[in-house]
Structure 1
């Protein structure tokens, strides 16, 4: 998602720069002299950049993969599947004096050196590494030993990636806030304007009626406002006229003001303004958008001035502009406090006659010059030339090679980590686990060697820091290599150095065991427990896992040791019930399904566990994983249907049912088809149910008659005639239609309206059904109520069955 977002943003910035810069250049060169064409080009460039940037991926043009250096560095430096850099493990209280500890006696069998993160392999599991945005998952990162110079460059590259990633994610956040703010202001302006009193000037209302007729727009509502010094057009075809200004102007000037505002309605400027503000909020990073907005606002005012001058005269309009500008200057747009604007400030979303930045002198000069501007069309030759220029600009934007982000960096803004990377000369591993009120952070450099029980450190290359916060209490231990194989240990509670007593040793042993498990994987732990206590010891270890992710990892570790007995599989399925994390529970169930073929009893147990999942997506994923191996035992099918019934969304239900049909190991399985047809009645949406029925029809292959009645039952309760026709037509298209199938199709169309879909379905049936007199009579009965035209078509469709 981040890669696509980054790519679209970069392409939009490139396209908008090309288009807006091109129009600006044409304007500066004097090619676009006529206001109507200048406005058309600015609009095309402003809105077209969004279109071309979105359409370019569909054109399969030349592409630039950016930035390649990120991918290269990521592959060379971090072969794991995920990186979570969120560990500032420096001691916040200063360093306590190291406490030398005797080195543990080595076991008879030399302890192996463990590479904490195997090259190109995930530490805990690919599913965890790919789970973005989780606060429950354990994150691990490791780097190969690198030279100091390269590591320094890597640190700078990481900081750059972090900054770019944060900037890219800030863009949609700011854009969404801007879009929401714009829509809220739009609605607030509508509400504010509707609260204003109606204008009681009969002459103005009559003038508005006549001008609206000439402009070809509905008669606007005139309202008197004491708030704003300039006339404006507000949402809902509302024209707000300042009471003070209307008292100052003479009748001709008032008509000119009214004509100007009605010209905005004629041009639909309010809708254009709203659209422009939304696009500007979406592309807030593009500085040229502000230039385009100013140009479009000015050109809109010039065009409205031109129409108003043609209707009310240029002199009255110029005079009214001067008076509006004078009144506008008397009430500056200032802010009251930090967020509120003064009452006289003009709304940004309204089309005001005399806005704060409106170039008054330019507008008055355009009105009073001998050859005033006009929005009359130009010659066909000039129009063609300018359309060619516009097409050339769009082609130029589309010709720019598309920027594609191969792999965007994961966000990390940890300053301590950046310093650590710059100072490190080798492999650094970090782990972060946050779950509820529990937080665990681990960092170490180089390789670790554990004792036989994985409860202590035998040796290490650099240092290991474990930091934990639970219930507001923090504990920290630091192992440091002291030379000649010695290891020193320091221990803190709430930043106070403490001696390592029995309680501390127990806590340290638990944490080191956890580090060993994540570094080496759960399979080694499972094998050691199997040798010592058998399966019961492993299952007890799974049950006491402190976190759902660790429990899932230990389940997978036991499965990795080989095929498991049936009773062990049942106990493992039961151990997934009280896992608090839906994601981990779903992955655990999926691992059990994929490890070995489950017996019908085990499948029922898994399906019962699926019913305890609260997220529709997780339920569907487990059902899809089970579909290829699902037994056709009646009890299993009933449990499967019960699991589908618990899904709330029609989309997820449809995906699960279609998977049952299309991913099944055996085709033409009557049990699967019957179960799918029964489950289709659980799908409420017509589109989703029709998709299920089409999938059913593809699995029949000659066995249509046996399932036609249930198929018709599922189709006849659909409310959409189109979806019902499509489903019943699919049934006829997949196999030979005999008398029984034709009768069920006729029954399935009961309740359809006498319209196009009913006629089309009957004509399709005529091409498949046999020449049976009783069947033809029912066919004609179903055609009653159709229009004469449709009934004639339906009757003609069976001519081949009723030879004269």
Structure 2
């Protein structure tokens, strides 16, 4: 096994035991075994980094000799325990049992006369007759057993994972590569954050800078560099000695609150929290343990509480620190960096920290920290040494290794069987033993079972083949005619036609450490293509061959069982070709050139070349018709969608070409690809009724609510003002299950000024499908300004408000309509009917007040308002009457 395998073994051991220790840490924290913040933080840190420590110990090879020493000590202790003299008192009642036991061991033949309980005790005791000494007068006897062989089996043998050598090496290489990539990602994020911090401008010299220097000098700490972070929502501490402050901090905080905020970030630097966060991130990258993110969050909160306490002590008031936290929490708009120590974040339990500051006294230092600080690493190291490790071994090698120890242990086993020779004493009474021989003959009958040839008579059942003639029964033959139904199998030929467009095709471009690489894979019934291109390349203008390659090109195509391979490489400035057919070298003749030209063209269609460039060239050569003809031959969904998007963006299509292009979206199964095509068409092309209905018919296949909503928004902007177009749009809208997405789509429709009269009424009715009271109210609130031009819609609006279950949302919808539209009293009476569905006295009173303020002293409307107010309580009704009296006065 190589070094990579050793690393994989050590990593698996660290991950396994680290997960167990992590669960123990979380359990101890939840049960309250760790009382102080310091104990919790130190414990969680040790247990978080335990997997790395275990991995390093296993890589160093230290646990193996220590485990051998441990096993030797165990064996020595076992020998001492077995050889020591055990003295036990014997009561008078057990004396008879002792004599019976001596007789049983010395003369086994007489065992029949011994009590069954005594016999069982003797049978289960590994003592020879010479091991029993004479009892003394005090009623005791000594048992001195002979030295028994000591088992050499390792108490903590490593767990073995048997894999072939090649598979173990491949898995180990994959694991190590994945860990390196994850670690590199964390390092890259750290460098990017450091670069961003260095680019921030310095904080101007003002009172804040002076306060920071005073706090630093008072505590004997170096004064950190202050920087202005315009994009940060909270103060941040950054290693090695930098504090970033948002520009709003001096405006919203008093001087004591600013002092507390600065002290909080200075505490982070004093504790080296930014570096600890980097270490946590690296640990999580190397060991992605379950619940590790939860442990990381707990460590962050413990650090925040410790810094809160220190900052409160510097500010002289825990309440000032709590107020500073609240001020920061009000300005959080972004999560911030995961590697910098922020004063507050969006997901931090600020309320719990404020309660901690306001209710708990100042934290006192723990008196005895050294015992715990020594106990934790000792426990982790002991678990790494004493627990078994992981071993990846080849099955053949493992089989040979396992056979060897069994041979070694076999000599140790014979001593134990030596006691059975004692039963040889019964051999003299072989007469009695003769009954025993009969049992061996039963073993002989096993050969007699071979005469079990009687089963051979079963051949007579062979004559049962006559029933076989029954098989020839013509009825079964008649069943065979049913086979003509399978000729319906020829129908499958139709499926091959369908798979052609939606054939599985993928094009991947890589630009990584080892250079550029392109991989194309296409597969459908009877056809498979795999192409790998290393380095940059360029095709000829007609896309019939490669004009230039920087690396190698390997292509393998299988069509109807015929496999063709072509390898291209550059040598001396020229392209070298190696052509094979079914694995045998062949001449690259004219037929091969025709095959290769069509294959390069197909790869260009599937995404080898940018769709934007191809569509631009095709438009120049043959216009939209040439592009549509080319798109019809594209199999990969992403490539087809990219060509359609490019066509819509680069050309203004006629209605005939637009309808034809929308028909080419039928093979697209991806919601994203289909939506991107339809959305681009709606934005860059002019839809008539037929085009919009065709686009909506395709959009009905979209299952994602988000993707459907995005298309509906784009289509609503140029929706033709006719009932059929609106009905097609609403049909797609009704398939949206999310109330939020439905509301946003409906708001886009309502914003279309082309909707008037009956069309606007149809849109208002569509809002009734929204089940969320809040989203329903928001949709109605958007529609309220449009009702000013159509007072006849108030009745439908009132009916929609009555369907809202929330009294608050219903009242808000009525108030919005009153504020946006100047309606006649006759229309307001219809709105009062919607108020009757509001059960809350307070909300009903507010809704009636908003209607009364626009009543224009209409007597019929005032009377209807008073009728609706009759169920109100005395207070709310009195408040409404005052409003009515004021309006009448």
Scaled to the shorter chain, the TM-score interval is: 0.3 to 0.5
Normalised TM-score (structure 2)? 0.44
Indicate the structure (1 or 2) with the bigger Cα radius of gyration.
2
